[in-house]
Structure 1
Amino acid sequence: MGFKFDWFMKGMLIAVGLAAIWPEPGAHGGWLHPELLNKIGVALIFFLSGLSLSFASLKSGTLQWKVHLLVQFTTFLVFPLIGLLLLHTTGGFMKADLQLGFFYLCALPSTVSSSVALTAAARGNVPAALFNATLSSLIGVVLTPAWLGFVLGKTGVEFPLAKVILDLLIWLVLPLALGQLSRPVLGNWAAKHKKRLSTVDRLTILLLVYTSFADSVAQGVWSHYGAGALIETVVGTALIFGVVLLAVNAVARALGMAEPERIASVFCGSKKTLASGVPMAQLIFGANPALGLILLPIMIYHPLQLAVGGVLAQRWAARERAAAE
């Protein structure tokens, strides 16, 4: 499974470019009414996630406790500690909003679809990957804003943690639960139209990307940063991804994991979610004019993790086939 610069990747570039040349509709107060549209988009994304997620398929992955501990420990402790290290070492040259973006990247949960797809392509333990990626998404509803509240509180910035978690429960968890409850009625229909629903989901994410960057452009945020912010982001995300990927692989080997479980641990433990990260940012940071800059690290990290993950999946699958032969 190699990396493909698919229509969604191109769509992200188009959404950012459109925001740069025509930000007015998606900016705060624009005729798209992003204050309401974004929340409806978040609810739609997570309703579709709940509708497509079969908890019955998670059962066979529940017994791999070493994988669970390693993935969740890496996602919600190791990554945030790396983010804290970045905050303390980059204050002299990196802007505060981009620092916050890097920490937000580190505080996000793992991603479901690409973790499972890459694990399957590499002949890893798919049930363990599905269980951990899903569990990570649920834990992230609480731990992601909690980590952000901790960091912003240290810098003296007021962060309404209770309100943020309430918003996440209303616009994220509730639609997810409603999607699950709808499965007996709509499950077969959703399975039949899986590709179309995936397209709707991705188009909604692109709409949220547009409104995020449109407000940043309208507020003049990007005129203060230029190409330097992009270069810092590319270098920073590559370093973070490389360190975590190597560390998870080494720990999995040290724990004596079998090859399928090690593969699942590496892919789930090194991933960060763009699909949940964009809508969560809309709820957590609200009308922050620097939202586009805050989202930049996860938008760079996403294609990077797919590109490297695709190469690794091909290599590991080829090795498994050779061993079988």
Structure 2
Amino acid sequence: MGLIARVRKEWFIIGIVLVITCAKLAPSVGVKGGPLRPEITITYVAVSVIFFNSGLSLKTEELASALMHVKLHFFVQTFTLVFFPIAIWLLLKVLALTAINEWLLRGLQTVACMPPPVSSAVILTKAVGGNEAAAIFNSAFGSFLVSLITET
């Protein structure tokens, strides 16, 4: 596979690396109140565009079919909200024995207990040709479950 073909295939990952590099070089562009206004553009515009674009590409039959995969949804929710946090908790117990900063470990613990962002789940699932309807449902439902748990 040639370089151009590889770049076309891996465009999304390359884009992520480029955006992270740009953010490292000029962090003031993306801060709250900065030129990009992430509190508006990300929260409302980007997420809406991602959902709208995904919704346009979904067939009603696909969405209905995806909702019927109860075992799949149960597995994804269990893996995301039970197995993964327990696995990270065990890893953190081992890492706590090292000289790693305590706040870094607490941050990792917090992130491990959160569902993946809906927009990322949709984009990455679409990029690999997965079941986009199931990704939307599981990610949105996981976010809903976590919001119920954390709001009480």
| TM-score normalised by length of structure 2 | 0.63
Match of 1:82 among 65, 84, 87: 87
The answer on 1:117 being equivalent to 2:124 is: no
Deviation, 1:28, is 2.9
- Do the aligned partners of 2:85 and 2:113 also contact (CA within 8 Å) in 1? yes
What is residue 100 of structure 1 aligned with on the other side? 107
Residue 116 of structure 1 deviates from its aligned partner by 6.8
Number of residue pairs aligned between Structure 1 and Structure 2: 137
CA contact (8 A) 1:83 1:103 kept: no
1:139 aligned onto 2:141: yes
Q: 1:145 to 1:97 in 2, by over 3 A?
A: farther
Residue identity (%): 30
Cα gap change, 1:37/1:68 in structure 2, threshold over 3 Å: closer, same or farther? closer
Query: Is residue 2:35 matched to residue 1:31?
Result: yes
Aligned match of 2:25 in 21, 27, 31?
Answer: 21
The CA distance in 2 between the partners of 1:62 and 1:32, in whole Å, is 36
8 Å contact from structure 1 (residues 86, 99) kept in 2: no
**1:48 to 2:60 alignment:** no
Shift of 1:14: 1.8
Q: Contact 1:25 / 1:32 at 8 angstroms: preserved in 2? A: yes
Q: State the match for 1:238 in structure 2.
A: none
Residue 10 (1) aligns with residue 14 (2):
yes
| Higher RCO (CA-CA < 8 Å; seq separation 6+) | 1
Distance 1:23 1:145 in 2: 29
Equivalent position to 1:73, from 73, 78, 82: 78
Q: Give the root-mean-square deviation of aligned CA atoms.
A: 3.4
Instruction: Report the 3-state secondary structure (helix = DSSP H, G, I; strand = E; otherwise coil) of the residue aligned with 2:36.
Output: coil
Gap change, CA 1:115 and 1:95, over 3 Å in 2:
farther
Please give the secondary structure, in 1, of the residue aligned with 2:129: helix
Rg (Cα) greater in structure:
1
For 1:130 and 1:30, the matched residues in 2 are separated by 33
